[in-house]
Each structure stands twice: as C-alpha cells, then as structure tokens.
Amino acid sequence: MDNKRNNIARRKTLTANKPENVRQTDIIILVEKAIEGNVEAFGELYGIFLDRIYRYVFYQVRDRMTAEDITEEVFIKAWNAISSCKGKEKTFSAWLYRIAHNRVIDIFRSREKEQLIEMDPVAEAGSTELEVETEIDHRELLDSIAELPPNQKQVIILKYIEGLDNREIERIMGKKQGAIRILQMRALARLRERLNGGAEEK
C-alpha cells in the first residue's frame, strides 16, 4: 500500500498537476498521506490545487501579489488543519475552497463586511500579461461581478471561472442545489441589468 502511495506521489511530480488530470482516488491518497504528516504529499496537493485556488482568489481581489499572498496563506492554514480532513478526504477540494473564501473575507474584513476590493487601474500594475488583458477586455464585466452580493459572486466565480459543477459548489458553499440555482439566476439577472445599464449610459 505504501509503495502504491509513493508511486502515485512520484507520478504526480512528473505529470501536469491539474485537478482535471488527477483522479479523485489519487487525491484522497495524497490527503491521507498529508494527514499522516507527509509534507511531500501535501506539496503534491499544492501543485494540484494551486492554480484553482489562486484563480478563485485572484478574481475576487484582482491583484496578483495579493492573490499570491492569500493563496500561500490558504495552503499554510490547510496544512495546519489537515488533520481535520481525516475521514473527509473526499471533500478536500471543497474544504480548501472554503478556507480560501474565509481567508479572502478575513483579509478584507476591515473594510465593509464581505465587500471585497474593487477594481482600480493601479491594482493592475503587478498583473501578468494575461491578467492585464483580462482586465482590459472584461473590466466592465469584472466590475459588475465584483459588485455582486458575496454569495452570488461566489457562485459565479466557482461555476464560470473555476468551471465547477453544482455538486462541487454545493459542497463548497454548504448550500442546497436549489439555493445555488437561485443564486445563479439572480446573479445573472443582476449582471445583465448592470451591463445593459452600462451600455445605455455609453
């Protein structure tokens, strides 16, 4: 069994560590190893989920450096609390997203509760080319997403940016699918309204 686990860990090092490329069973094994204190296994999990967590954070804070900082803190917190995943290895991904969400909220708690940073041209300065391009081409849309109520924004980012299905979103948000569908509908309606409003103003 140990050999099998080691092989899995080694294989992940050599292949693209994207969640979509990794089997759920492999993730579970890595989580089990991490719970036992295996730092390397946790490093593999980091490689698998880094992109997703970074992206999830980035589209909320919209600043590269801040997103990197928060992402790192998310994984540190995850490591420190990894024992709480015992018996819940299957939901590691959702658990990680929840930490990220809470961390983002923590970071900006000193501002209005759960109201995250709004886009500002200066905040782009440290962004990568793709990020800058994203901001330039989709600024109005991203601004509108940023102004959504937190729950609606979370659904939109998880579904359309992160590409998660409703079941995964259900696990992350701890809400039933019906509630998620309603949140999605309201978010889309609100976005449509804002974008139309912006178009009319122009």
Partner 1 sequence: MNDKFSRILDESIERLIKGETIESCLEEYPNDREQLEPLLNTAQLISSIPKVSVSEKYSRVSKARLIARIRRESVQAREAETRSGIGLFDELGLAWHRMWQSILGAKKVAIPVALALILALVLSVSGLLNHLSTTPALASQCTLTILSGNVDVQMPGSNAEKTGTDGMTLNIGTRVKTAPGSHAVLTFFEGSTVKLEPETEIEIQQIEYDNEQPTAIVLKQWLGRTWSRVVKMADPGSHYQIETPSATAIVRGTLFTTEVEATGTTKVATTEGLVSVVAQGDEVYLPACQQTQVDAGEVPSQPQPVPISRSEIIITFDMPATGSVTDPTGSSTGILPSGFYFNQIPESQSFLTAEDRQQINISEPMTGEYIIALRYLSEGQAHFNILGASDGNVVFNYTGNWGAFQEHGWLIHLGIHAESGRIISGEVTSAEPLGEETPEDIVEAPLAGGKASKIMTQDSDTNSTADVDKGKPEDKGKPEDEDNTGDKGKPEDKGKPEDEDNTENKGKPEDKGKPEDKGKPDKAKDENNTGNKGKPEDKGKPEDEDNTGDKGKPNKPEDEDATGNKSKPENKGKPKDKDKPPYWFS
Q: Least distance from C-beta 173 to partner 1, angstroms?
A: 15
Nearer to partner 1, 1 or 11 (CB): 11
Nearer to partner 1, 29 or 67 (CB): 67
Using a 10 angstrom Cβ sphere, with 0-12 exposed, 13-18 middle and 19 or more buried, the burial of residue 28 is: middle
Nearer to partner 1, 1 or 130 (CB): 130
Q: Least distance from C-beta 9 to partner 1, angstroms?
A: 13
Alpha carbon distance 94, 171 (integer Å) = 6
- Positions touching partner 1 (CB under 8 A) are 17, 39-40, 42-43, 46-47, 50-51, 54-55, 58-59, 61, 63-66, 68-69, 72, 75-76, 79, 107-111, 117, 120, 122-134, 136-138, 141-142, 145, 156, 160-161, 166, 178, 181-182, 184-185, 188-189, 191-192, 195
CA distances from 127 to 24, 70, 124 (A): 32, 15, 5
Q: Least distance from C-beta 161 to partner 1, angstroms?
A: 7
Nearer to partner 1, 34 or 94 (CB): 34
Widest CA span in the chain: 64
Q: Where are the alpha helices (DSSP H) in the chain?
A: 2-14, 24-35, 39-61, 64-80, 92-107, 129-146, 150-156, 166-173, 177-201
Nearer to partner 1, 69 or 147 (CB): 69
Alpha carbon distance 173, 167 (integer Å) = 10
Q: Least distance from C-beta 146 to partner 1, angstroms?
A: 12
